[in-house]
Amino acid sequence: MDKGFISNYRARAKTLQEYRDIEQSLRMLEGRLERMKNSEELKREMEFEGKLTALLEEYGLSLTDIVRMLDVKGDRKAAGKPRRKKRAVSFYKNPHTGETVEAPSPSHLVLKAWRKQYGPETVRKWKVPQDSGDVTPA
């Protein structure tokens, strides 16, 4: 058989399959849309939106104006979950190698290796105070 014919046939079949897939998706979406149109919840939402829009127009306000009015502190981020405090970065200096490590958490890979090699108590003593000028990360 001719290779051009086969590749042309595959391209057409692919296009036809894509068309059928889109057609099926469209039928499914039309069904969902019809069910939503008959939904009492949607009808209530649309009625509320219409009344709210009319009320806003009557008083010359926008939704942004209403949000600002209701935002007592002026800080919407404060209303959310409280954020965790960032961990203080700790510095450790290995007296054997002179290597300094900046570790945002105790599970830092180099610290783990040092703990395994020298013991956790020894490595804990290598912590450099924050106010010390001896911190020069390697």
Which two structure tokens, joined as six digits, stand for 59? Answer: 């008083």
User: Which of 82, 92, 77 is closest to 127 using CA atoms?
Assistant: 92
Shared domain check, 102 and 62: no
Domain assignment present for residue 135? The answer is no
Domain assignment present for residue 84? The answer is no
Which two structure tokens, joined as six digits, stand for 83? Answer: 């954020």
Shared domain check, 55 and 21: yes
Confidence category of residue 6, pLDDT binned at 50, 70, 90:
confident
pLDDT over threshold 50, residue 138: no
73-to-69, 79, 80 alpha-carbon distances in Å:
10, 9, 13
State how many domains the chain has.
2
The conformation of residue 133, written as its DSSP 8-state character, comes to: T
Shared domain check, 11 and 42: yes
pLDDT tens profile 128-137: 987 655 555 4
Q: What residue numbers bound the domain in which 41 lies?
A: 3-76
User: Whole-prediction pTM value?
Assistant: 0.37
Which two structure tokens, joined as six digits, stand for 33? Answer: 């849309």
Domain assignment present for residue 81? The answer is no
pLDDT tens profile 55-111: 999 999 988 888 888 876 655 555 566 777 777 888 999 999 999 998 888 888 899
Domain assignment present for residue 136? The answer is no
128-to-1, 32, 117 alpha-carbon distances in Å:
78, 64, 19
Shared domain check, 122 and 97: yes
